[in-house]
């Protein structure tokens, strides 16, 4: 049996605590099948942490995250905490853990399952077989740039400021992640910016060009303004292989790409740091792209597949467990082929199930595949 993998589970808020048990069941299945051994610990983040400790990212959570081999997050936020001061809102917990662990590279793969392509509101040929990778810079840009804040001027006018800042090392390191990924895929990278308006992204574009010329001669690098990119993603997403972009553009484009896969409830992600120069350890947090979905929380309606697919990314990127990740994804494919659907991916003639029942169906197919 493989070494024990230390996984920190952070269910968070809203649908987070509903989808997470379904992933834990998948982990338990792998253990029972003798394919892995997990040491699970649980931690608080977001609103759940605010309620218990007064802040969205307790020191204990951060310590547990650093000690773990990988972290799995559900979602944070919700109306209950909307009126809190900005710096202690649930979302600050997520931004804080990303920053503290140096998780600068957020991989958001938009891969379409055939059964959902058939059900898409887009034309079948637009989405069938789609497999693109959005690489979002995650610890810089306008999310973290200084100066920032809201101030009142002497004449009483209020001013809100956020700054879009990138340095050359920040651009180069995310560029390398995108180009390394592209080398193992279609060798095409589209860098998305707003270099017609924002100086910071003029630098972004210049550095991407330099990186490709100096280190990745085999990569075909193209550039697109973000407004056009959002339109092209819907018009003809298959023109893309790897998309690399800034923190905020990546946030927006990935929600858009999620709909190509059928639902926000289908899109996983991996947030990765750099390997430590001496120990080789790389922090990694796996998180669905969706949020806490307050409109459906607490009703067994959420689609757990984005979080389960985030776990398969953990198996691939942190634990090199490709066969196990393949098995889970094959089982998801069978479940979808059988027409089993949560509400967000429902279509006429399909069987509507809840969060837990989607977990039941998946485990049954994993049993069947393992027995075959």
Ligand X SMILES: CC(C)[C@H](C(=O)O)[C@@H](O)C(=O)O
Task: Look up 241 and say whether it is catalytic.
Answer: no
Task: Determine if 258 is a binding residue for ligand X (CB under 6 A).
Answer: no
Number of residues that bind ligand NAD (CB under 6 A): 21
Task: Determine if 262 is a binding residue for ligand NAD (CB under 6 A).
Answer: no
Instruction: For residues 165 and 167, give the distance between their C-alpha atoms in angstroms, rounded to a whole number.
Output: 7
Nearest residue (CB) to ligand NAD, 94 versus 208: 94
Q: How far is CA 191 from the centre of its chain?
A: 19
Q: Is 86 annotated among the ligand-binding residues?
A: yes
- Within residues 83-142, the interface with ligand X by CB under 6 A covers 91, 94-95
Cβ contacts of 33 within 8 Å, gap of 6 or more: 370
- Of the CA atoms within 13 Å of residue 115, those in its CB half-sphere come to 19
Map residues 196-235 to x or -, x wherever contact with ligand X holds by CB under 6 A. ----------------------------------------
Task: Determine if 306 is a binding residue for ligand X (CB under 6 A).
Answer: no
Cβ contacts of 239 within 8 Å, gap of 6 or more: 232
Task: Single out the catalytic residue among 60, 227, 276, 320.
Answer: 227
Q: Is 89 annotated among the ligand-binding residues?
A: yes
Task: Determine if 136 is a binding residue for ligand NAD (CB under 6 A).
Answer: no
Task: Look up 251 and say whether it is catalytic.
Answer: yes
Cβ contacts of 323 within 8 Å, gap of 6 or more: none
Task: Look up 114 and say whether it is catalytic.
Answer: no
Nearest residue (CB) to ligand X, 95 versus 266: 95
- As measured in angstroms, the least distance from the Cβ of 28 to ligand X is 27
- Four-CA torsion 304, 363, 108, 252, nearest 10 degrees: -20
Task: Single out the catalytic residue among 255, 326, 356, 360.
Answer: 255
Q: Is 156 annotated among the ligand-binding residues?
A: no
- As measured in angstroms, the least distance from the Cβ of 42 to Mg ion is 24
C-beta of residue 45 within 8 angstroms of C-beta of residue 97: yes
C-beta of residue 191 within 8 angstroms of C-beta of residue 245: yes
Task: Single out the catalytic residue among 69, 193, 241, 251.
Answer: 251
DSSP line for 135-171: EEE-SSGGGTEEEEEEEE-TTS-EEEEEE----HHHH
Token pair recorded at residue 182: 């592209």
Alpha helices by DSSP H, the chain:
16-32, 46-53, 59-67, 90-100, 114-119, 124-127, 168-183, 199-215, 226-235, 247-260, 305-317, 322-337, 355-371
- As measured in angstroms, the least distance from the Cβ of 31 to ligand NAD is 25
3-state secondary structure of 249: helix
- As measured in angstroms, the least distance from the Cβ of 133 to ligand X is 16
C-beta of residue 92 within 8 angstroms of C-beta of residue 77: no
Cis status of the peptide bond prior to 147, with omega within 30 of 0: yes
- Within residues 332-351, the interface with ligand NAD by CB under 6 A covers 344
Map residues 282-321 to x or -, x wherever contact with ligand NAD holds by CB under 6 A. -----x--xxxxxxx-----xx--x---------------
Instruction: For residues 194 and 196, give the distance between their C-alpha atoms in angstroms, rounded to a whole number.
Output: 5
- As measured in angstroms, the least distance from the Cβ of 251 to ligand X is 4
Does an H or E element contain 327, and which? helix 322-337
Task: Single out the catalytic residue among 13, 64, 143, 193.
Answer: 143
- As measured in angstroms, the least distance from the Cβ of 170 to ligand X is 16
- Within residues 68-97, the interface with ligand NAD by CB under 6 A covers 75-78, 91, 94
Q: Is 116 annotated among the ligand-binding residues?
A: no
Q: Is 338 annotated among the ligand-binding residues?
A: no
Task: Look up 227 and say whether it is catalytic.
Answer: yes
Token pair recorded at residue 70: 């990988």
Task: Determine if 251 is a binding residue for Mg ion (CB under 5 A).
Answer: yes
Q: Is 128 annotated among the ligand-binding residues?
A: no
Instruction: For residues 268 and 311, give the distance between their C-alpha atoms in angstroms, rounded to a whole number.
Output: 8
Q: Which of 4, 87, 6, 11 is nearest to 302 (CA)?
A: 11
Task: Look up 281 and say whether it is catalytic.
Answer: no
| Residues within the interface to ligand NAD (CB under 6 A) | 15, 75-78, 91, 94, 264-265, 287, 290-296, 302-303, 306, 344
Catalytic residues: 143, 194, 227, 251, 255
| Residues within the interface to ligand X (CB under 6 A) | 77, 91, 94-95, 251, 289, 291
């Amino acid at each position: 049996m493989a070494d024990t993998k230390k996984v920190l589970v952070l269910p968070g808020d809203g649908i987070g605590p509903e989808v997470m048990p379904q992933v834990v069941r998948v982990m338990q299945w792998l253990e029972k099948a003798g394919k892995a051994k997990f040491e699970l610990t649980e931690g608080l983040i977001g609103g759940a942490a605010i309620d218990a400790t007064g802040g969205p990212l307790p020191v204990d959570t951060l310590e547990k995250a650093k000690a773990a081999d990988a972290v799995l997050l559900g979602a944070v936020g919700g109306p209950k905490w909307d009126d809190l001061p900005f710096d202690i809102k649930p979302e600050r917990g997520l931004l804080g853990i990303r920053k503290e662990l140096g998780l600068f590279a957020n991989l958001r793969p938009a891969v379409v399952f055939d059964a959902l392509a058939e059900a898409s509101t887009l034309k079948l040929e637009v989405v069938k077989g789609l497999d693109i990778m959005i690489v979002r810079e995650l610890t810089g840009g306008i999310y973290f740039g200084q100066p920032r804040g809201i101030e009142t001027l002497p004449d009483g006018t209020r001013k809100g400021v956020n700054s879009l800042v990138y340095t050359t090392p920040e651009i180069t390191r995310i560029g390398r992640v995108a180009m390394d990924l592209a080398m193992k895929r279609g060798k095409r990278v589209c860098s998305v910016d707003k270099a017609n308006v924002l100086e910071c992204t003029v630098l972004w574009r210049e550095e991407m060009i330099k990186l490709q010329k100096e280190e990745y001669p085999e990569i075909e690098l193209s550039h697109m303004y973000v407004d056009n990119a959002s339109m092209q993603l819907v018009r003809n997403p298959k023109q893309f292989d790897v998309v690399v972009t800034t923190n905020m553009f990546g946030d927006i484009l990935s929600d858009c790409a999620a709909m190509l896969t059928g639902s926000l409830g289908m899109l996983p992600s991996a947030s990765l740091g750099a390997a430590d120069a001496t120990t080789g350890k790389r922090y990694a947090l796996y998180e669905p792209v969706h949020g806490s979905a307050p409109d459906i929380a607490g009703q067994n309606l959420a689609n757990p597949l984005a979080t389960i697919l985030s776990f398969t990314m953990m198996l691939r990127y942190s634990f090199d467990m490709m066969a196990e990740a393949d098995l889970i994804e094959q089982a998801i494919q069978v479940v979808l082929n059988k027409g089993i659907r949560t509400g967000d991916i429902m279509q006429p003639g399909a069987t509507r199930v809840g969060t837990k029942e989607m977990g039941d169906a998946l485990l049954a197919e994993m049993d069947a595949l393992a027995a075959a």
